[in-house]
Amino acid sequence: MSGYLALNTVSRSLRRILAAAYEADPMVNSLVNGENGIVFSNPTETARDPSKHLSLWLYRITENEFMKNIPAVAEPNRNQSRPSPLALDLSYLVTPFTSSGENDQVLIGKTMQVLHDNSSVYVRDQLNAVIDEVRVVFCRLPLEEVTRIWEALQEPYRLSVCYLVRVFRVDSTTLDESAPVLDITTGEAAVAG
């Protein structure tokens, strides 16, 4: 679990994993030109810059409904609690921008292989400490939804795939300092159960 900055940390973690795999493959590495060739810009902006070769665009953030009712986080001080973290699912559109359709297929194929092989990712902070574990899931979007994304970008459709990263948790900064419920007969803190 982590703070708001970790949202960007998830994207950077994915970029690091992809860049390391590309670097190990001379054919793909020549198409991307290192980690700087992987950007978080939307495909329209990426297409304008010939030095950028893969758009890893976070296009939608949704709350994970299955984690919504997690109990509040207990603090060391028993008179305090913190609301459960905000559980998020992150939707990415991955689009290659190389010199040809054939190279786009090579790059997207390698990207899909790497993300499949790294379907469980440990997200690390700047000190390399693990702050969360997320799952990277290939998303089979209906053609209508993919078409709507490209229409919103006002771009012709390009070869692309979608991935869902779930569940990423953002800690609450609110601290509830209400006193625990007391048992009337003993005056002790009641234990839920």
Report how far residue 26's alpha carbon sits from residue 176's, in angstroms, rounded to the nearest whole number: 54
Report how far residue 185's alpha carbon sits from residue 78's, in angstroms, rounded to the nearest whole number: 20
The answer to whether 90 touches 165, Cβ cutoff 8 Å, is yes
Q: Does pLDDT of 176 surpass 70?
A: no
Please compute the mean of the pLDDT values over residues 18-39 and round it to a whole number.
Answer: 93
DSSP state of 50: T
Q: Does pLDDT of 39 surpass 70?
A: yes
Strand 38-39 relative to strand 54-63: parallel, antiparallel, unpaired? parallel
Q: What is the rounded average pLDDT for all residues in the chain?
A: 83
pLDDT at 122: 80
Parse the chain into domains and list their residue ranges: 6-170
CA atoms within 13 A on the CB side of 109: 10
Locate 117 and state its tokens.
Answer: 């092989």
Backbone angles phi, psi at 88, to 5 degrees: -120, 150
The answer to whether 183 touches 190, Cβ cutoff 8 Å, is yes
pLDDT at 85: 76
Report how far residue 60's alpha carbon sits from residue 100's, in angstroms, rounded to the nearest whole number: 28
Report how far residue 91's alpha carbon sits from residue 15's, in angstroms, rounded to the nearest whole number: 15
pLDDT digit string (tens) for 64-90?
Answer: 887 777 766 666 666 666 667 788 889
Q: What are the C-alpha distances in Å from 43 to residues 7, 157, 165?
A: 20, 10, 19
Neighbour count for residue 63 (Cβ, 10 Å)? 12
Backbone angles phi, psi at 64, to 5 degrees: -80, 110
Residue 1 banded pLDDT, cuts 50, 70, 90: very low
Q: Given 3-state DSSP classes, what are the helix, strand and coil percentages for the chain, each rounded to the nearest 5?
A: 35, 30, 40
Lowest mean pLDDT among 34-38, 83-87, 96-100: 83-87
Q: Name the residue with higher pLDDT: 124 or 153.
A: 153
Lowest mean pLDDT among 32-41, 69-78, 139-148, 155-164: 69-78
* Torsion sign, CA atoms 176, 178, 182, 188: positive
Give the residue among 98, 83, 94 at the shortest CA–CA distance from 149: 94
Locate 111 and state its tokens.
Answer: 């990207």
pLDDT at 193: 45
